[in-house]
Amino acid sequence: MDKLEAKILIVDDDEDVLLAAKLFLKQHIQFVHTEKNPENIPDLIRNDNYDLILLDMNFAPDATSGKEGFHWMNKIVELDPSAVVILITGYGDIELAVQGIKEGATNFLLKPWENKKLLATIKTTLQLKKSKTELEDLRSKQKIILADQDQAYANIIGQSEAMEKVLIDVQKVAVTDANVLILGENGTGKELIARAIHRSSNRKDEVFISVDLGAISESLFESELFGFKKGAFTDAKEDRPGRFEAANKGSIFLDEIGNLSLNLQSKLLSVLQNKKVVRLGTNKEIPIDVRFICATNMPLYQMVNENKFRQDLLYRINTVEVHLPALRERTEDIEPLVEHFLDNYCKKYKIPKKRISPATLTRLQKHTWPGNIRELQHAVERAVIMSESQVLEPQDFFLTQREDDAQDTVSTSNMNLEETEKMLIRKVIDKHGGNISRAAKELGLTRASLYRRIEKYGI
């Protein structure tokens, strides 16, 4: 029979109790240490790690108050806050044992005990400790992951007047619990701003959950955001909380909120109004305490006028609006952004530090950057990888749009049909910051048709 890989300590002034317990438990548990004198408890705790401690409540002859047991239990917890203690008490001292549970003991055991009861209590308590330890480890790992994630979003680079205004707005709204709507084109850094709001808020020590609503299909919306009960649908093999529950006490960032259908908008509105969610397959309402930060690059006010977005939902999410400027509106920030990306990618790819020439900087500042900071970031990464020079020149950057109006006027007189189509597709994709769905819609093509043309022309 395999023994439990655990180390337990039994403290009792009755040597017969200690001997009987040790003889029995050694058959089932790998390490069993016994101690008659409670005065030795501090040294034992300092010198060893016990998974479980069984502690008698009375040591002095005829003592029944349990004071000694409480004293030593408090001492154990003081020396090792994670210690798990089972109190040993007589039948007449159950009230004391219950008091002990309230003061920090994990369980209690009545003596004289049956060996089966003793072993069952120990096994149950060890399993409880294991579960608590795993939960604490998980929480610690989550904090580390979130800290690393936040670090990746920690740098808001911008010295322009437009960005200074954004940062002032962020500081003002962060200390409140108001819902925030972040408006801006694709690639302007909306999630970066959302994380900055969370990090400066009273919820900064709680979780930040990011949800790309544009990537969640209508059929999965409720299961992803509200959660589900086992058996609610074919693949629901276990209970699972949704994103709203996961974000409880923290902040939830709902990106691409303008993509929601009217049906899903009404379901989201219900959560915002009632601060409750109902998992699929149940009728039970679960209260949530969540700060909502939403973002979109779509014209919500125009969509309200066209009956494509609910006005009452807009009023719920835009208590405060933060408008992010496009990169072409903050060209003075291009140089520090390029320096930041150069530093990052040179370190990432273990390449000696590169720099850009004045001519390159001028070209980058003239470019309109339809994909904004995300496009700039990818352009710098590509240049770092592909260029063999330490100084990056204009030809090291592959920019898909002309730098000025004169160059942007492309003559099609010498172009055949395929060349014209290629130019048009590239221009529309640039316009939508690489979003294939929107580009396909504007071109009157299906996504599959557009992908075939992109492959055909090598775009």
Q: pLDDT tens for residues 112-131?
A: 888 998 999 999 888 888 88
Residue among 296, 287, 311 nearest 180 (CA): 296
Mean pLDDT over residues 428-445, rounded? 82
pLDDT for 281:
92
CATH number of 411-457: 1.10.10
Is residue 237 over pLDDT 90?
A: no
Is residue 224 over pLDDT 90?
A: yes
3-state secondary structure (DSSP) of residue 19: helix
Q: How far is Cα 268 from Cα 378, in angstroms, rounded to an integer?
A: 34
| DSSP state for residue 353 in the 8-state scheme | -
Domain edges within the chain: 4-132, 162-323, 327-396, 411-457
Instruction: Specify the pairing of strand 276-278 against strand 285-287.
Output: antiparallel
The residue with greater pLDDT, 17 or 253, is: 253
Whether residue 267 contacts residue 318, with contact meaning beta carbons closer than 8 Å, is answered with no
CATH number of 4-132: 3.40.50.2300
pLDDT for 409:
41
Residue among 434, 455, 437 nearest 186 (CA): 434
| 4-132 matches 327-396 in fold | no
Q: How far is Cα 121 from Cα 106, in angstroms, rounded to an integer?
A: 10
Query: Could you tell me the pLDDT band of residue 33, with boundaries at 50, 70 and 90?
Result: very high
Q: How far is Cα 435 from Cα 259, in angstroms, rounded to an integer?
A: 13
Mean pLDDT over residues 446-458, rounded? 80
pLDDT for 92:
56
CATH number of 162-323: 3.40.50.300
Whether residue 251 contacts residue 209, with contact meaning beta carbons closer than 8 Å, is answered with yes
Return the minimum-mean-pLDDT range out of 57-61, 185-189, 376-380, 396-400.
57-61
Is residue 87 over pLDDT 80?
A: yes
3-state secondary structure (DSSP) of residue 109: strand
- Select, from the ranges 126-135, 173-182, 278-287, the one with the highest average predicted confidence (pLDDT): 173-182
Q: Give the Å distances, CA to CA, from 261 to 112, 292, 303.
A: 67, 19, 12
Fold of the domain built from segment(s) 327-396: Helicase, Ruva Protein; domain 3 (1.10.8)
Q: Is the dihedral of CA 99, 128, 110, 63 positive or negative?
A: negative
Return the minimum-mean-pLDDT range out of 23-27, 130-134, 406-410, 428-432.
406-410
Mean pLDDT over residues 32-58, rounded? 91
Find all residues with CB under 8 Å of 221, minimum gap 6, and list them: 264, 267
